[in-house]
Amino acid sequence: MSAPAQSIEFYVESDEKPKAGITILTKGNNTRKSNKKLKGKFVDIQLGKLWIKNLRDFTRNNEVYLEMNAITYKTKPGGRIQIPYVFKLNVNIKDETFSSQVSSREVLTGVKLIGSGVQMKIRLTELDKADLKKLNLIKNFFEKNQLAQFALKAAETKVPFAEELADFSFELVEVLDEFNDDDTVWAEQPKYDFRSSAGKPLYDGCYAFVGTTRGTKLPMELIECGGRLYTMYEDQEKNTPYEDENYLTWNIVSSDDESDD
């Protein structure tokens, strides 16, 4: 599997008081404080919008695999226990579109917020569109056809250029194998914490993962409305949608149920 194409910038709610219907998200220091009253409670995690600007495929049509896990830890006699909550979804999506399969979907239900917070695991994997049947035909050509056999025999008898020809045929098959591998777009594990010193506060509200390529400078603040991100927002007629990078918005929604711990 190839290295991640993008890293993620983590946006959390700002401590600014926005007007009704919008949320200001920031990657800076002026963040909303952690809600310590959530400790010992159950929460649901809901997705807002998944926007795909561009993925590394030869076409604009993509198939991706979205994984979003929440992990909490509990100390028991004999050590610490990891409690995972797992969500996985195959998504078909075109470049420069939102995924209808993701929008406003509740993905994790009854996550128990215990310990110092919650470890999130987010992975977005692009599934290659290569046709396995065609790949096997190409491989069989290089493995079985007369040209490949000649190259191998010629290499043994030191015919000029024959060894290079044989190496090329095998290397090409290896490249084709790798071409059909999945590509990881995101792979991050942020920790959202109850502690006041935490850089990623834990609260009931909105968050965003925004993909970044090397050298990309992202806005310090983005505006969330209905799961979409904007760089400027006045109303439905006067706004500037943020569509420069891939992003996913999500929410922690608290419940009234208390845990027994």
Q: What is the pLDDT of residue 260?
A: 44
Most confidently modeled range among 106-120, 149-163, 180-194: 106-120
For 45, 224, 243, the CA distances from 21, given in Å and listed in that order, are: 20, 9, 20
| Higher-scoring residue by pLDDT: 62, 222 | 222
Q: What is the pLDDT of residue 3?
A: 46
Residues 134-169: tens digit of each pLDDT: 556 666 665 655 555 555 555 555 555 544 555 555
| Higher-scoring residue by pLDDT: 80, 259 | 80
Residue 117 scores a pLDDT above 80: yes
User: What would the DSSP string read from start to end of 3-27?
Assistant: PPS-EEEEEEEBSS-PPTT-EEEES
Average pLDDT over residues 33-49: 92
Task: Name the nearest CA neighbour of 64 among 134, 128, 143, 156.
Answer: 128
The answer to which of 19-33, 36-50, 54-68, 94-108 has the lowest mean pLDDT is: 54-68
| Higher-scoring residue by pLDDT: 226, 56 | 226
Residue 201 scores a pLDDT above 90: yes
Average pLDDT over residues 44-63: 84
Q: What is the pLDDT of residue 149?
A: 57
Report the predicted TM-score, pTM, of the whole model to 2 decimal places: 0.76
pLDDT-derived band at 42, boundaries 50, 70, 90:
very high
For 14, 22, 88, 202, the CA distances from 236, given in Å and listed in that order, are: 22, 11, 33, 30
| DSSP summary character for residue 168 | H
Q: Helix or strand or coil: residue 163?
A: helix
Residues 204-238: tens digit of each pLDDT: 999 999 998 877 889 999 999 999 999 998 777 78
Residues 59 and 50: their CA atoms lie apart, in Å, by: 19
* CB environment 51-62: b (16+ within 10 A), e (fewer): bbeebebeeeeb
| Higher-scoring residue by pLDDT: 91, 49 | 49
Q: What is the pLDDT of residue 257?
A: 56
Q: What is the pLDDT of residue 86?
A: 87
| Higher-scoring residue by pLDDT: 57, 244 | 244
Q: What is the pLDDT of residue 81?
A: 75
